[in-house]
């Protein structure tokens, strides 16, 4: 059954009803073959499952099967006609490279030959990791000003997005130490997408920094750039090095970003953090397996590259514009970060970097505030914080990844539904523009819950593959460490997943699409909620072999560590069923693709924009996905699509995706290693418990510990340190310092040893430690004064106050709504959002200092929210202020209409009124449309004089011509930038205008009214 596909969804589920019980494993258990110090083959194919791995591996590596290009680059898919995240099969992704590393690591374990593993890394450095010439101006990067802010918008039609230098950004704390550590300002990370056969023809050939055009070799490209609603069918691909040779007058740049000055030739890359962390994960297993063979020296250079990649991967742990984490509800109200205040410690959806071509002295870097559960990788974080060979070299890298490990496990715990599946994620920047989340939205360290973070077509967490990919990493981490939190997560998840899985001898049915209701409890690390109101349901099933492979590996690692025979039996049944689906190129099943009717989808191009693709395809308003990819018509499989577009049958394809075929191979290998053959070394003996645990030092925020080494029949490889029942961290030595603790608090610690086979010792005896009292400062700040209400809306109250004083220094303020903490601020202003219209609230403020002393409360003020909208229509208007001066001679409202109904809205029936006072001066006005995403010629404006009322004696009326067309349900018009002045250019006083607001990003505006066919549909007139 076909599904809509969007970015990074690399598989489409196929329907089929299958019912049966899982069978228990029947293959006899056997030990792995012994090895010697000369690194002879580590394990022959002594069982049927390892042999299945080798059979599948050989199919992937057979040149006749077409998994690799002539340059040795893995394609996304053997077949060329495939549209999902890449829009062509012979593109490749950093995802494919990471699965290649992992596949070759597994082959190294089985064969003892590490040549292919090292070759994969060499190929990656040449192609998917940009070389210096491909990112030439990093030395001009200013870490104090990482990038210019540009808001994200919900829909492609709102682009290009204007750069806004008035919004402050934070400081990048990584750049200096990375440059110092590696002696270069270049980024060492994989770009996510490459056109391996140069089908588009940009010719951004790695190692050239050029647009070599059609006929050149592999080419860096990019696609998604225009908001959460942009599916793969709505993208306009562009070259990563844009020398303005193709596209329009400004290349492709002005499709995405709007700026007032001239566009410059430039380069830009995007990193997919799940791929880079998977590369580290693969290197961890290569190191572990090679060490067991005595061959660690053979993989050392590649492992070092993975550690370096992990150093730069830390950019994914920071907010997009390095703003503070938590309580970010407006671009200007969200404070710029410094140090670690902008670090959320989760693996975000991307990080990106770019700059001018040589001769232009600038470069930029951004992280991302949106984090998805499917991207987290606790095993990689564990490896980079505890395994010496994989710990990045930069001074703060180990501590960053150590804290990331803890934060990721908390993240999973926060998102686990009542049934066991993991919900979407969180964002530090609501709607990509630091907006205000809906009232009642739960938070994780101040970041808002989002059930579909990053993309919405289709919702990003509806695909079961995100569950299997992510929980497989949790299962590996649990297998390696025995971590109790990971086990608790897996106990619940495996029980749920198993309950919705059926399998026969020749087929299986696993979840394909999921649906979510409710939301998690706001996170408390000391008292996590039960998430009783957060639920998942399966809305469709399928037999996606790639997803099944990840699912099997999850079950296998979990079973091997926990001893759960039911999970091992289900894994075996699924593998046995998949083995019956083999063909000459791998293991695959047919897929029907109803979504291929979207070849005819219109791709949004702004009014007045025109350009050409390298092959001459026109880019202009009204073009379709296929119009700018006319080369697809020559694909041998396209007649099946054309017949479908002409009203024929839904086409069916059998695909061989590289990542899926690699994961299938590894699923057989892991089962053969852990269930059939035992651990890779055959070692099942746990180390002795550590002894002599003692406290070697304390501060107000740290406890240092030492202990006597444990012993093992082979060798102890590390220690897990537990604070109570929580894993505080790990160490490869006999000492550890626990950080980030509270002052004057008592903590209890134990330590467990582990070996290379993942065996975990009993706990040491416990010790307790009490942190010191801190700075000794016991004097609280003075109470804030002059608390005042500076503004109200239907859902918000804005406050200001006079700063408190302190003997050392005030560090912030807590704002109370009645007796409830509404939020905190580091400035003397705060906006409380998510309130109820026409309701009175009381507020007080308290100051606090670095020692935790809190002042008395300020005097109380009361505020009443506005009455909200009337009319009950199915449309609303959002407003932002485009004029920073309320007393100059122009008014500049930014507006966008949103269709909140269930059917299309004819825009020619709609008018909008912005209410203002004219003051003295001329009574005649000039009006302008400076920009409209739907075309300035389709928007009308006039000023109307009205009976004087509070805050208004005129209104600016905005209307639409028939050329504006209709606005689909759930869509918005995009940016409409209006402007007016009196004909004598005398000044206004906007501060007393009814519709005036100070917000500089779009927000609902109930004091601007909307009418449909002359009837009030939204807002309240003055």
Task: Retrieve residue 568's tokens.
Answer: 């091992």
HSE-CB of 530 using CA atoms within 13 angstroms? 2
Give dist(CA 410, CA 523) in Å, integer. 9
Please give the sequence-ordered ranges of beta strands (E in DSSP) within 43-105, or none if there are none: 91-93
Q: Name residues whose C-beta falls within 8 Å of residue 1016's C-beta, 6 or more positions apart in sequence.
A: 870, 871, 873, 1009, 1010
C-alpha 897: how far from chain center = 28
Distance CA 204, CA 224 (A): 18
Three-class DSSP category at 933: coil
* Known active-site residue 274: yes
> What does the DSSP 8-state code read for residue 715?
-
- 847: Cα separation from own chain's centroid: 35
Q: Using CA of residue 333, residue 338, residue 339, residue 345, what is the dihedral sign?
A: positive
DSSP assignment of 138-200:
GGG--TTS--------SSGGGPSEEP-TTS-----SSHHHHHHHHSS-------SEEETT-SS
Separation CA 992–CA 186 (nearest Å): 51
**Catalytically annotated residue among 195, 197, 254, 274:** 274
For 367, half-sphere exposure in the C-beta direction (CA atoms, 13 angstrom radius) is: 36
800 sits in the region (left: phi over 0; alpha: psi -120 to 50; else beta) called: beta
Q: How far apart are CA 136 and CA 241, in angstroms?
A: 11
d(CA 600, CA 627): 8
Q: Tokens in use for 81? A: 């006609």
Residue 288 and residue 301: Cα distance in Å, rounded? 14
Residue 95 designated active-site: yes
Q: How far apart, in whole angstroms, are the C-alpha atoms of residue 205 and residue 211?
A: 7
User: Residue 1010 pairs with which residues in a beta bridge?
Assistant: 912, 1018
What SS3 class is residue 691? strand
What's the farthest any 2 CA atoms get from each other in the chain? 95
Length of the chain: 1022
What residue has token string 């997943």? 497
Residue 51 CA to residue 542 CA, distance in Å, equals 27
* Pairwise CA distance, residues 405 & 338, whole Å: 22
CB-count exposure of residue 371 (10 Å: 0-12, 13-18, 19+): buried
Q: How far is CA 148 from the centre of its chain?
A: 20
Calpha distance 419→495 (Å, rounded): 9
The torsion defined by the Cα of 96, 100, 103 and 105, in degrees rounded to 10, comes to -140
- 731 sits in which H/E element: strand 726-731
Among 47, 95, 242, 311, the one annotated catalytic: 95
Round to whole Å and give the CA distance between 926 and 982: 6
Identify the bridge partners of residue 422 per DSSP, sorted by sequence position.
Answer: 416
Q: What is the 3-state secondary structure (H, E, C) of 238-269?
A: EECEECCCCEECCECHHHCEECCCCCCCEEEE
From the list 229, 232, 100, the residue with the least C-alpha distance to 666 is 100
Quickly list DSSP for 46-92.
Answer: -SHHHHHHHHHHHHHH-GGG--B-TTSPBPSBSSS---SSSSSTTEE
CB 78 within 8 A of CB 89: yes
Strands 161-162 and 257-258: parallel
Please list the active-site residues: 95, 274
């Amino acid at each position: 059954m076909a599904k809509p596909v969007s970015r990074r969804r690399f598989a489409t589920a196929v329907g089929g009803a299958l019912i049966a019980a899982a069978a228990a494993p029947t293959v006899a258990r056997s030990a792995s073959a012994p090895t010697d110090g000369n690194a002879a083959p580590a394990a022959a194919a002594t069982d049927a499952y390892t042999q299945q791995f080798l059979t599948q591996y050989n199919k992937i590596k057979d040149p006749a099967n077409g998994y690799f290009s002539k340059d040795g680059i893995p394609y996304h898919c053997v077949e060329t006609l495939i549209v999902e995240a890449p829009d062509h099969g012979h593109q490749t992704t950093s995802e494919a490279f990471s699965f290649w590393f992992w596949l070759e690591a597994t082959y190294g374990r089985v064969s003892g030959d590490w040549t292919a593993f090292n070759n994969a890394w060499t190929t990656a450095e040449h192609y998917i990791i940009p070389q210096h010439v491909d990112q030439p101006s990093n030395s001009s990067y200013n870490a104090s000003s990482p990038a210019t802010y540009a808001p994200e918008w919900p829909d492609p039609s709102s682009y290009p997005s204007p750069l806004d230098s008035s919004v402050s950004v934070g400081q990048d704390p990584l750049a200096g130490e990375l440059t110092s550590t590696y002696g270069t300002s270049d980024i060492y990370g994989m770009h996510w997408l490459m056109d391996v056969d140069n089908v588009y023809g940009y010719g951004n050939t790695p190692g050239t920094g050029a647009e070599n055009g059609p006929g050149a070799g592999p080419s860096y490209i990019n696609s998604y750039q225009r908001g959460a609603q942009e599916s793969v069918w709505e993208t306009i691909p562009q070259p990563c090095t844009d020398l303005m040779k193709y596209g329009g007058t400004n290349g492709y740049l002005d499709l995405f970003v709007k700026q007032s000055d001239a566009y410059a030739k430039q380069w830009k890359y995007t990193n997919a953090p799940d791929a880079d962390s998977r590369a580290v994960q693969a290197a961890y297993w290569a190191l572990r397996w090679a060490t067991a063979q005595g061959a660690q020296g053979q993989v050392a250079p590649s492992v070092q590259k993975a550690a370096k990649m992990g150093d730069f991967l830390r950019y994914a742990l920071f907010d997009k514009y390095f703003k503070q984490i938590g309580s970010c509800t407006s671009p200007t109200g969200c404070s710029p970060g410094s140090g670690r205040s902008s670090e959320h410690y989760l693996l975000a959806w991307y990080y990106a970097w770019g700059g001018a071509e040589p001769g232009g002295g600038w470069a930029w870097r951004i992280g991302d505030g949106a984090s998805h559960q499917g991207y987290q990788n606790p095993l990689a974080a564990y490896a980079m914080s505890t395994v010496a060979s994989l710990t990045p070299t930069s001074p703060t890298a180990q501590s960053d990844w150590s804290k990331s490990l803890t934060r990721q496990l908390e993240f999973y715990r926060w998102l686990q539904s009542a049934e066991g599946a993991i919900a979407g994620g969180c964002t530090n920047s609501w709607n990509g523009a630091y907006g205000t989340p809906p009232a009642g939205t739960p938070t994780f360290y101040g970041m808002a819950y989002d059930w579909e973070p990053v993309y919405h077509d289709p919702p990003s967490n509806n695909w079961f593959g995100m569950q299997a990919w992510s929980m497989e990493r949790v299962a590996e981490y649990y297998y390696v460490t025995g971590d109790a939190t990971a086990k608790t997560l897996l106990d619940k998840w495996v029980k749920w997943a198993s309950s919705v899985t059926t399998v026969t001898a020749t087929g299986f049915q696993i979840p394909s699409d999921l649906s979510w209701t409710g939301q998690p409890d706001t996170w408390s690390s000391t008292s996590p909620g039960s998430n009783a109101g957060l639920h998942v349901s399966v809305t469709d099933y399928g037999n996606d072999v790639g997803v099944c492979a990840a699912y099997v590996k999850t079950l296998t690692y979990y079973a091997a560590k926990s001893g759960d025979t039911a999970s091992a039996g289900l894994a075996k049944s699924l593998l046995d069923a998949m083995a019956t689906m083999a063909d000459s190129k791998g293991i695959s099943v047919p897929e029907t693709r109803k979504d291929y009717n979207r070849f005819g989808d219109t791709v949004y191009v702004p009014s007045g924009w025109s350009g050409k693709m390298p092959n001459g395809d026109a880019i202009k308003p009204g073009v379709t996905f296929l119009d700018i990819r006319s080369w697809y018509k020559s694909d041998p499989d396209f007649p099946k699509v054309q017949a479908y577009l002409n009203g024929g049958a839904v086409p069916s394809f059998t695909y061989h995706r590289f990542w899926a075929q690699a994961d299938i191979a590894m699923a057989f290998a892991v089962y053969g290693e852990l269930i059939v053959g035992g651990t890779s070394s055959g070692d099942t003996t746990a180390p002795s418990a550590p002894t002599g645990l003692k406290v070697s030092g304390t501060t107000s925020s740290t406890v240092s510990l030492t202990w006597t080494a444990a012993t093992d029949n082979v060798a102890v490889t590390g220690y897990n340190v537990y604070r109570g029942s929580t894993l505080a961290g790990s160490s490869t030595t006999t000492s550890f310092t626990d950080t980030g603790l509270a002052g004057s608090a008592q903590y209890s610690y134990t330590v467990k040893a582990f070996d290379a086979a993942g065996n975990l010792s009993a706990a040491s005896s416990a010790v307790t430690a009490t942190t010191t009292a801190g700075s000794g400062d016991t004097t609280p700040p003075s109470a804030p004064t002059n608390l005042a209400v500076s503004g109200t809306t239907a859902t918000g109250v804005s406050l200001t106050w006079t700063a408190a004083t302190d003997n050392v220094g005030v560090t912030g303020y807590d704002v109370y709504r009645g007796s409830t903490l509404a939020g905190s601020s580091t400035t003397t202003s705060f906006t409380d959002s998510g309130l109820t219209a026409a309701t009175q609230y009381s507020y007080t403020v308290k100051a606090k200092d670095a020692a935790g002393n809190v002042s008395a409360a300020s005097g109380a003020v009361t505020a009443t929210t506005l009455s909200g909208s009337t009319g009950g229509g199915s449309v609303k208007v959002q407003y932002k202020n485009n004029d920073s001066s309320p007393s100059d001679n122009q008014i500049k409202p930014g507006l966008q209409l949103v269709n909140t109904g269930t059917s299309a809205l004819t825009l020619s029936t709609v008018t909008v009124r912005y209410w203002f006072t004219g003051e003295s001066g001329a009574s005649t006005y000039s009006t302008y449309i400076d920009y409209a995403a739907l075309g300035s010629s389709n928007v009308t404006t006039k000023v109307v004089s009205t009976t004087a009322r509070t805050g208004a004696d005129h209104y600016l009326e905005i209307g639409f011509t028939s050329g504006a067309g209709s606005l689909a349900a759930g869509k918005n018009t995009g940016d409409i930038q209006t402007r007016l002045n009196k004909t004598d250019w005398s000044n206004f006083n906007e501060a007393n205008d009814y519709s005036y607001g100070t917000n500089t990003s779009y927000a609902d505006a109930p004091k601007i009214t909307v009418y449909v066919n002359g009837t009030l549909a939204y807002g309240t007139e003055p």
